[in-house]
Amino acid sequence: MNFTRKHLLGIRELEAGEITHLLDTAETFRDISRREIKKVPALRGRTVINLFFESSTRTRTSFEIAAKRLSADAVNISVSTSSVSKGETLLDTARNLEAMAPDCIVVRHSMAGAPQHLARMGNAPIVNAGDGSHEHPTQALLDALTIREHKSRIEGLKVAIIGDVLHSRVARSNIHLLTKLGATVSVAGPGTLVPLEFGELVEQGLRVEKTIEDAIEGADVVMILRIQRERQDAAFFPSMREYAVHFGLKPKHLERAAPDAIVMHPGPINRGIEMASEIADGGRSLILDQVTNGVAVRMAVLYLLAGGGHAELDEKGH
């Protein structure tokens, strides 16, 4: 199966086969980062623009390193959304960049649908690097790659997603991906951040649980979400202290999970709030594996979208 789409805007619209193809491609790229010379000429002469309207260290660096390891020229642009709203529109910004003939534009934006807007109105392939509370497809792919690495499968697994589900694009992309590949997902958190209707997000495989204990029961994977203060216009819970006591992941919770359960977090962590430090730094935590796999996944995505996708991998210096 080939990945023939022009853009990567979300996981929701992908077929299971396309997701698997992306993951398989990422796996072949993982080795490159383990070599002494971490560079292949796959995208030599291509230009990737990282257009970030929202602050990011991890994701932007990950895309930049991914592009550079494929020999693409990577340009990073950070724009604060507020300055854009005073002047140039998103579309005009993108059109000006497109006039410089990039092969791919990676977009992060605080507003849901911004990458779709650019994909519809512009010409360059668009990679969604996170749009508001909508999707963060490469995060879900790197999470899946990490799970596959440690569990050797996704189908049949039970995954618990805990925390600020309402505002989380990571949760949405993961739920789409995991349920498409046959896992079951349970979500839980404060009632204000986990609407009862959330179970309708996908056709099947998703349950909204009342308590985080119920969600974690028997889980093979426990994903903890970051509290997205920047997307909360009002107090959705009384205090950080209360959140930590009632919704923070603690060792006792993991006793309910499967004995070999793994723990994940998209970062950055609010230590001692969403997750006890002893878990974040403990043996079950795959947080740094996720970051490592992020580069491989983004290499795969850029490779498939920015022009390398139609040639065979072997011709690209393997």
| Interacting residues with another protein between 140 and 169 (CB under 8 A) | 169
Provide the total of helices (H) and of strands (E) in the chain, helices listed first. 12, 9
8 Å CB contact between 303 and 29: yes
Say which DSSP state 34 is in: G
Tell me if residue 279 falls in helix, strand or coil: helix
| Interacting residues with another protein between 210 and 249 (CB under 8 A) | 233-234
8 Å CB contact between 142 and 117: no
Q: Does 7 bind another protein (CB under 8 A)?
A: no
CA dihedral (98, 102, 108, 114) in degrees, to 10, reads 30
| Interacting residues with another protein between 53 and 92 (CB under 8 A) | 85, 89-91
Q: How far is the CB of 56 from another protein (least distance, A)?
A: 17
Binding map of another protein across residues 247-276, x = CB under 8 A, - = no contact: ------------------------------
Q: How far is the CB of 12 from another protein (least distance, A)?
A: 7
Q: Does 111 bind another protein (CB under 8 A)?
A: yes
Q: Among 12, 30, 58, 207, which residue interacts with another protein (rule: CB under 8 A)? A: 12
By CB under 8 A, which span of 37-45, 116-124, 148-156, 299-307 interacts with another protein?
Answer: 116-124
Q: Does 174 bind another protein (CB under 8 A)?
A: no
Q: Among 59, 133, 138, 174, which residue interacts with another protein (rule: CB under 8 A)? A: 133
Tell me whether residue 40 or residue 114 sits nearer to another protein (CB atom).
114
What's the rounded Cα separation, in Å, for the pair 108 and 266?
15
Print burial letters for 103-134: b (CB count within 10 Å at least 16), e (below 16): bbbbbbbbeeebbbbbbeebebbbbbbbbbbb
Q: Which tokens is 239 given?
A: 């205090």
Which stretches of the chain bind another protein, using CB under 8 A? 12, 85, 89-91, 109, 111-114, 116-117, 120-121, 131-135, 169, 172, 195, 197-198, 200-201, 233-234
